[in-house]
Structure 1
Amino acid sequence: MKCKHPLCIEKCREKAKLNTDAVQCKCIEDIGIFIWEWSPAHSSPDTKITNDNKDILFHPCYSSGTAAVRGTVPFERNLHYYWEVQMTSNMYGTDVMVGVGTAKVVFSDWKFRFCSLLGIDSQSWGYSYHGLIQHNKLVRKYGSKFGLGSSIGVHLDMNRGTLEYFLNRKPLGIAFTGIKNQELYPMVSSTAAQSAVRLTCAVSEESTLQMLCLGFIAKHKNLYQSYQQIPGLKRLYERKYFWIVPNFEEDKIKRLANLEDSLMCPLYYENFLKSHKKLRTTPWFPSDFSSDVDTSDSNVSNASSDYDTQ
């Protein structure tokens, strides 16, 4: 059976050393850079970390709650971080999540509780295999569901304080903002027995003019197509900034939404004017009121004056 990752270039599925459902795929590990790894010292007891601290097996026998692991080093301010994890087993159960959190996240509190751990409080942010994101118990729809063979990329901009996810290297858009004044660690969590996750790359870059220019080019289809036609330039930057990729499909959806608004707003405004005009032409007094009451009377005049000023 072929690995489900779209970047695979050969048949790479074989029986896993961790469990029979895992995928031993190395098709996206060509980056070869790992500035951090998973920390055995900062992991739930119900986890097994192997392969030079890159592979995690959650709940090797059976699951009685939620287990999690964090990275070895915190992220520094004013840097860009990108890392990818691959789902090397089937995803099922309450939740499997990828994200970040502070050192205040206590994994042992959830040892005997099944939960969506990352984002359950204000100290963590997470993307669920159900296609949802969560922070401080606030959950919203974000991207597609992911499972066996899926690659989840995470771009953390510690300069702007934004977090964006990628599914099989397709950008899903900004998930979280306002997190640059935190000391954060990469984290993964799972409630599923014998679920497995592999770290496939972990890089960091300073914010440079090159990066800013490439980010600008990636937002404009014509510029990006011209950039793709310059082989030397493309090869020079695609390895260093391989995670800066366009999402023209999302831009198309936004343009269609804006077009719909531009077409519908005049209609709404016209209906509003008609209803507003109708309200203004409706007499304030009942039709039979003026025949029974002399509106020139000072008491009536004072009463209406009091009404207007309140």
Structure 2
Amino acid sequence: MLTIPLPWSDSAPAQPAAQASGPFTRTTKFNDLPDAQKKVFEEIEYVPTPPCLDFTRLITHVRSFIQGRVQISVELKAQKLGEEIAKEQAALDELTRSLSAASSALSSDRLAADDQRTKTDRNLQDALIATRIIDGFTKPQQMGGYLTSYANFPLEYFTRQVEEMKERVQRYKSTVEQIERKLAQVYEANSAQPAQPSPQAIANALRAQHASFMALAARTAEIDAAVQKHKAAYTTRWRAQTGSARDPFAPASKEDDTLDALMSMSVSVAGR
């Protein structure tokens, strides 16, 4: 085993006389050593120590990693992701309201279509009955039985028309009242301190309402007069065709039906 002398050791091993050329100190340089000592040092096998971790490079890498994450955070903040989520939520709410409105509109349209289908079926039925009544008048021998079967149809038809007119007038009145209430609410909402209307404004409003109701009443009277006119014309024609003196719009009794049947038979015999 090769032993390397250390100049700062307290005790140094004895060296051969041939190699001893003088004392060594800490400041002795390699070139100042004797050739024999140089050769000893040169023959020592150099074993490199494992490379230490490059902490500077590691710190630089960590710093770069942190800076990259910070930059990503800054970019995400710049994109305003929260505002995008709020916009999407607002769009979703608007879509929900639109779907609700569309659903309500579809339901209303379905009800309107059902009502129109019912009215169409009823009008077709009325037209069929009216055609049979006309056939009874034009062909009393073959289809005279229709006049007896549908004797109450005129009364039922015009009564139904009058009821529909009353319902329509009531609906118009309700609509006008709703409009008045809505206008009053809008006026109160837009007025910071709603003032009491002046007597002149109240009088003008009453006059306008009175004029509206009078116009509505006049229109109702016109409709009623037209209905009465049609009833009178139908009664005259019905009496001329049947020879009966009773009112076709009055509820028929068994006695009236019997008299009408006898009158029809007498007319038929006279025609022969």
TM-score range, shorter chain: under 0.3
Q: Which has the higher helix share?
A: 2
- TM-score (norm: length of structure 1): 0.20
Q: State the structure with more CA Rg.
A: 2
More strand by share: 1
